[in-house]
Homo-oligomer: A and B are copies of this chain.
Amino acid sequence: MSKTFHVAIVGATGAVGLEIMQVLERRNFPISKLTLLASSRSLGRSLSFGDQKIVVRELNDSAFLGVDFALFSANGKISQKYAPIAREAGAIVIDNSSAFRMDLQVPLVIPEINGADAKQHQGIIANPNCTTAITLMGLYPLHCAFGVKRIFASSYQAVSGSGAQAIQELEQQVRSIGKGESVEKQVYPHQIAFNVLPHVDAFLDSGYTKEEMKMQNEGRRIMHLPQFRASVTCVRVPVYRAHSIAVSAEFEKSVSLDVARSVLMRAPGIKLVDDTVSNLYPLPLNVEGKDACEVGRLRLDCALDNGLAFWICGDQLLKGAALNAVQIAELLAH
């Protein structure tokens, strides 16, 4: 008989938490028991998992008794407080927040890239930032072929990256504008409907946002590449789900388009969609709900000597969050 596990989801009723449940079910993760934890607001709600109805329980110090894997998809403060408690109780924590990503004791893992790092865990493993994860899914295979030095990237990030409330905010703003009514803002400081906001996460003194620097900071750890440089502009766009990133990447070696294509066609978790003659290129709308990230618009970069430009789209609730977390659990379960 193969082993089964007691899995807990922290933040089970959030956008990522709900997605984790679906991914666990769809991938037949070997679960003996599923515990759903959330803040007191969600207590008493029950969620479907397969043919079970599971009642959401309160996140507290004794919530992790007997848990094997605790998948955290709440905010950084919750992770900071409860991840050590879960680890003490014997669980392996896989954390979606940014709380532990820069902690050198905590592996930061994309299974297709540095899955081996997960095995070095000391009870907590961090899941990378969504935009970083999607970009690296396309960049890393190219790095293996050509050796990446630096990238220049701009993101087109969907509102679901800001949670369920942001999805409602975009819907409501579009409805209000349709009726000629004034627009209400709660999640974003400015109207997101029919607008784009060059502002994701908090601003740092350098003028970059935290989100923008995650590409370089997390990219260095995940690719084991301490000299990697990444200049990023992160932009929120009125798309419901799936992020897109435009990338110019500079490499050590000279780049061949044929090699780049064949490398990406073989890469796990990536689908090459690059037939511009037929107007085929990755679109955020087309990767909604898909596990694979789609990469296309491949071209030799005209402003770099050893450079390649590309465009990549990924469902940030899946590869950028829930799917990657479950993949990490799978690595350790097998």
Count of chain A residues with a beta carbon within 8 Å of a chain B beta carbon: 56
Complex interface: chain B residues within 8 A of A302 (CB): 206, 208, 213, 216, 229-231
Give which listed residue, B152, B174, B203, B299, contacts A178 with CB less than 8 A.
B174
Complex interface: chain B residues within 8 A of A244 (CB): 196, 198, 235
Q: Could you list which residues of chain A lie within 8 angstroms of chain B, going by C-beta atoms? A: 150-152, 154, 156, 174-175, 178, 189-191, 194-199, 203, 206-208, 213, 216, 229-231, 233, 235, 237-240, 244, 246, 248, 257, 276-277, 279, 281-285, 296-304, 307, 309, 311
Copies of this protein chain in the complex:
2
Give which listed residue, B194, B233, B235, contacts A240 with CB less than 8 A.
B194
Assuming the A-B contacts A229-B303, A246-B235, are A281 and B152 also in contact, with contact meaning beta carbons closer than 8 angstroms in the complex?
no
Complex interface: chain B residues within 8 A of A213 (CB): 302
Assuming the A-B contacts A198-B297, A230-B303, A284-B195, are A279 and B190 also in contact, with contact meaning beta carbons closer than 8 angstroms in the complex?
yes
Chain B residue at minimal CB-CB distance from A245: B154
Chain B residue at minimal CB-CB distance from A151: B303
Nearest-Cβ distance from residue A39 to partner chain B, whole angstroms: 27
Q: List 20 A-B contacts (CB under 8 A).
A: A150-B303, A156-B156, A190-B279, A190-B283, A194-B240, A195-B239, A196-B237, A196-B283, A198-B281, A206-B300, A206-B302, A207-B298, A208-B302, A216-B302, A216-B303, A231-B248, A231-B302, A233-B311, A237-B238, A238-B239
